[in-house]
Every structure is written in C-alpha cells, then in structure tokens.
Amino acid sequence: MNIALVGAGNLATNIGKAFVRARHSVVQVFSRTESSARDLASALGCSYTVSVEDVVDDADLYVIALKDSALGDVAGRLVQGREKCLFVHTAGSIDMDVIPALRRGVLYPMQTFSKAREVDFQAIPCFVEASQATDAALLKSLASEISSKVYELNSENRKFLHLSAVFCCNFANHCFRIGEKLLNEHGGVPFDVMLPLIDETARKLHALSPGEAQTGPAVRWDENVIGMQLGLLSDKPDLQHIYELLSKSIHDDKL
Amino acid sequence: MNIALVGAGNLATNIGKAFVRARHSVVQVFSRTESSARDLASALGCSYTVSVEDVVDDADLYVIALKDSALGDVAGRLVQGREKCLFVHTAGSIDMDVIPALRRGVLYPMQTFSKAREVDFQAIPCFVEASQATDAALLKSLASEISSKVYELNSENRKFLHLSAVFCCNFANHCFRIGEKLLNEHGGVPFDVMLPLIDETARKLHALSPGEAQTGPAVRWDENVIGMQLGLLSDKPDLQHIYELLSKSIHDDKL
C-alpha cells in the first residue's frame, strides 16, 4: 500500500518504520514542524511537507498520528478534496467519527512510545475499527503484517481499553516516580535498587493475575504499618492522600 | 553459620533456600503452623518445631521472618534465655529495636515474594543494620553471599525505602489490577494484551528515569481526554478519585 503519514512524533516514527519493514511504501510525511518532518522522511526514504494543502491526494491510506488535540482540525482539512480516500487515526481515546470522511477508521497500537527507544512492533497489540466492512478487513490485514496481535474493537470499548492502559502504564509509572522521590530524599540509595522489584512486579503477571500477585501492608490490612507509613508522608499531603486511597482500594478489592 | 529460621512463609522459604545454596546450615525451622514448618524443614533438610520454647539455643544467628504484627511478641519470647545470641528480622518497615536483645539487627531483602515463585536471590538488594559494629560486618558478609547488592541502612531510612517499595510494587500492581477490571467489563479483551505495555513500562526504567519515561494524557495535561476518562468512571467514584489525584500529581511533578 501507498501510505501517507500525517504526523512525525513518537508513534508516527515507530509505525512508519514498521510499515516500511513490512514492505509497504510510506510515500510522504506531513508535520508542521519542519525538522521532524524532514528527519522522519529521511529515515523512511520519502518526501515531506509542512502544509496540509500539499499532502498527496492519491495515497491508499492516510495514517493520522497526531496529538489528540490536533486530530479533529487536521482531519477536517485533510478530508477536503480527498473524499474517496481512507483515513485512520491512531489514538486510543478518540472516537473514529472525529474523521469526517465516509471511509474512516482507527489503527491503535497500544504501547508507550519514546522517541529514543525503538520498540518491537510485532509484540504490540493493535486495535482496528472502520466505518466500512471492506476497510475493516483491509486494516486488519495491514495491522497483521506489523503486529502479531490484532483485535477489532469499537470506539466505545477502545476508550475503556485506553483508560485501562493509562492505569497500567502512566499511573503505574507515576508510582515508580513517587518511589524514586522518596528514595532520593532519604538515605541516598540509588533508584536502581528498585529495578529488580519493579521487574518482578511486571514479570509476575505472566503467571498470576494482578489480584493474586498483590502483597504488602494494604492487602494484609496491617494497620500498624499503614499508620506508620502515612506518618512518614505527613509533610506531603498529596502523597498521603494517594497512599490512603490506593491502600483502601486494595483492601476493598479483597472484600 | 548455623542459622535458626523463625518463620516459614514466603520470605522465610526463599531466604532459607538462599542460605543453603550459599553452604550455610539452617539447623531448625520454627512456625506455629505445623504443616508450613514441616514442609520448609523438609526442603532445607533440618528439624522443625512449633513452640518458641523448643527453638534451639545455640544457633549463630536467629533470622526472624514473620509477619510484622507477630514480630515484637515472638522476638521478646525468643530472646529470653538466649541473651548472648544474635537476632535479626527481615521486615522493611520495622525498627531494629523491636528485638529486645543486645545483639540485634536487620537483614531486609527487598522483593515481592509469592510462595509459588522461586526468585533469583542474587539479584535482590539486601539492606542490613546491626546494633554492634562487628555484627554489622558479619551480616554484611553473610548478605553478600546470598545477594550481589548489599547496603547498610539505618532503621529510619529503611522505613522510607520500604515506603518507596510499597509505591513501586504494591501500588503499581494495584494500577494493573484496576486496568484489568476496566478491561474485563468492556469488550472482553483479555488482560494479556496489557502485558507488552506493562513489560515496556518496567523495562524503560533501565534506560530512563520514571520522570523522563512518563507519557499519556496527564503529563501532556490534555484536559479533553482527562475529562472524558473521568466521565467513563462516573459509576466508580473511588476510581474516579484515584484517577484525579494521580493525574494531578503527574502534572504537578512537571511544574
């Protein structure tokens, strides 16, 4: 397929490379930031543009990988004059219908992308949806070439999937960040000491469900330790509040 | 060394096996639960007892690996008649002084132990402390035989270390649990699809700090997505509250 890539951020970079590895052609990269557009186009061996008007109008597929807030506006302008083309976005939490085209869809690769890290796209679950059955089949087939786990999921359920990912990734990572802060302030132990614990916490889930894997004072409802640890956070009311709510939620989960 | 193991739970099991692998002798296992005492004693090739009074009185080291709430009581009874012996506990959040002996200490292996999973003890950071300098040296040397990462840390700093571990392990795991629940309720996608994301979230930290690694709507402060996701949780006020607090904390961290 001839694919136009709209966006040049972390996700666009990773999915563009995956398309090329699967022997599809990325024919053009669009980004308002010229340096990003140029860098990605050069990595993918194609042309680039910084103006929506100059985006090619004969691509088989337009993949819009922009931040959520820019999606509606750019999609609206892209569709004009390209009414018969197929457009997909890559956002977990945005409705397919944000694209005002007859042939619209979603290809959401669920992963946390950072520019500096290349990820193994084959291992990333991809969720597809389309307004027309033939396009759904086409997207499923395309996604299967870049990922070994492809699911069809409608917009409503995808929103919950993305919310689940926010908890599993962003919020879990923030727990790591809080742990790092507490460590930095007391005893000068480097954060590296937490990595075996964090690795095992993730690895466990390949054998146990998160409920089965839970340990610690909250699941034991050890009120001495919980009270003592709340005391350690007395100068940090925000963290104290987070500690309290999560402990209670762990406890309630067992009732 | 001749070691008496007081306790037969997950931690006692794992540390007992590590001692034996390092060619120390576990001479006896104590547990009030006879089946646990017997099973562990049989795995370690030693005798067992279910009564504190029958614990041997000539061990070089007594390792008390009990749940926090039982620690003070059992330690008090153990020390009677064994006033010259060295006692350590293995709890992250409990003061060394809970043991009323002249020669007291702590050997805290920081990991999440589940009975069904054998862990690589060498990779587990161990934190030691003792009331006497010669015992601190002895514990450091013993810990170095079972773990490649040994630190000396006083009780006050160890409490913060343990609090940090609660965030990095228990609270992160609860975020996974919440994610699992949301997924189960919407669209029937199996929780397995989250594992690549969770693995990458943990793996990233070997290259980036948790602050650098953060992605998602909260760090971008994308109020549209945040508002929409809070709406998805409208029938779950507890989770809505957790979502709100963690998002705000992620945002504040960047200010």
Query: What pLDDT shows up at residue B4?
Result: 98
Instruction: Please choose, from the candidates B179, B169, B254, the residue with its C-alpha nearest in 3D space to the C-alpha of residue B212.
Output: B254
Half-sphere exposure of A243 (CA within 13 A, CB side): 26
Portion 76-105 of A in contact with B at CB < 8 A: 93
Query: What pLDDT shows up at residue B120?
Result: 86
Asked whether residue B253 carries a pLDDT value surpassing 70, the answer given is: yes
Residues A131 and A104: beta-carbon distance below 8 Å: yes
**B221 near A CB under 8 A:** no
Query: What pLDDT shows up at residue B206?
Result: 96
**Chain A positions in Cβ-Cβ contact with residue B214 (cut-off 8 Å):** 170, 173-174, 177
Average pLDDT value for residue range B222-243: 96
Query: What pLDDT shows up at residue B187?
Result: 86
> Which has more confidence, B182 or A255?
B182
Query: What pLDDT shows up at residue B219?
Result: 94
| B89: β partners | B64, B106
Convert the pLDDT of each residue in B160-175 to its tens digit. Answer: 999 999 999 999 999 9
Asked whether residue B233 carries a pLDDT value surpassing 90, the answer given is: yes
Q: Are strands A150-152 and A47-49 parallel, antiparallel or unpaired?
A: unpaired
- Which amino acid would we find at residue A8? A
**B151 near A CB under 8 A:** yes
Query: What pLDDT shows up at residue A36?
Result: 97
Mean pLDDT over each residue of chain A, to the nearest integer: 95
Q: How many CB atoms lie within 10 A of CB B185?
A: 12
Placement of tokens 């692998």 in the chain: B21
| Residue B112: both structure tokens together | 């999440």
Convert the pLDDT of each residue in A19-75 to its tens digit. Answer: 999 999 999 999 999 999 999 999 999 999 999 999 999 999 999 999 888 999 999
Instruction: Please choose, from the candidates A158, A155, A157, A161, the residue with its C-alpha nearest in 3D space to the C-alpha of residue A96.
Output: A155
Convert the pLDDT of each residue in A173-198 to its tens digit. Answer: 999 999 999 999 998 899 999 999 99
**A224 near B CB under 8 A:** yes
Q: How many CB atoms lie within 10 A of CB A215?
A: 18
By CB atoms closer than 10 A (0-12, 13-18, 19+), residue B50 is middle
Interface probe with B: pick from A106, A113, A201, A242, most Cβ of B within 10 Å:
A201
What is the Cα A252 distance to its own chain's centre? Answer: 29
Average pLDDT value for residue range B239-255: 96
Strand (E) or helix (H) holding B8: none
**Chain A positions in Cβ-Cβ contact with residue B165 (cut-off 8 Å):** 179, 194, 197
Convert the pLDDT of each residue in B137-158 to its tens digit. Answer: 999 999 999 999 999 999 999 9
Among candidates A159, A165, A187 on the partner chain, residue whose Cβ is nearest the Cβ of B160: A187
In this prediction, residue B115 has a pLDDT band, given cuts at 50, 70 and 90, of low
Distance CA A179, CA A220 (A): 20
Asked whether residue A117 carries a pLDDT value surpassing 90, the answer given is: no
Convert the pLDDT of each residue in A86-114 to its tens digit. Answer: 999 999 989 999 999 999 999 999 987 76
Asked whether residue B16 carries a pLDDT value surpassing 80, the answer given is: yes
Distance (Å) from the alpha carbon of B142 to chain A's nearest alpha carbon: 19
Convert the pLDDT of each residue in A143-156 to its tens digit. Answer: 999 999 999 999 99
In this prediction, residue A115 has a pLDDT band, given cuts at 50, 70 and 90, of low
Average pLDDT value for residue range A227-254: 97
**Chain B positions in Cβ-Cβ contact with residue A195 (cut-off 8 Å):** 205-206
In this prediction, residue B111 has a pLDDT band, given cuts at 50, 70 and 90, of confident
Interface probe with A: pick from B200, B209, B232, most Cβ of A within 10 Å:
B200
* Cα distances (Å, whole numbers) of residue A31 to A10, A52, A106, B222: 12, 8, 20, 20
Distance CA A6, CA A243 (A): 41
Instruction: State ipTM.
Output: 0.88
Distance CA B128, CA B111 (A): 14
Q: Assign 3-class secondary structure to chain A.
A: CEEEEECCCHHHHHHHHHHHHCCCEEEEEECCCHHHHHHHHHHHCCEEECCHHHCCCCCCEEEECCCHHHHHHHHHHHHCCCCCCCEEECCCCCCHHHCCCCCEEEEEECCCCCCCCCCCHHHCCEEEEECCHHHHHHHHHHHHHHCCCEEECCHHHHHHHHHHHHHHHHHHHHHHHHHHHHHHHCCCCCHHHHHHHHHHHHHHHHCCCHHHHCCCHHHHCCHHHHHHHHHHCCCCHHHHHHHHHHHHHHHHHHC
Average pLDDT value for residue range A157-167: 96
Residue in B closest to A245 by C-alpha: B242
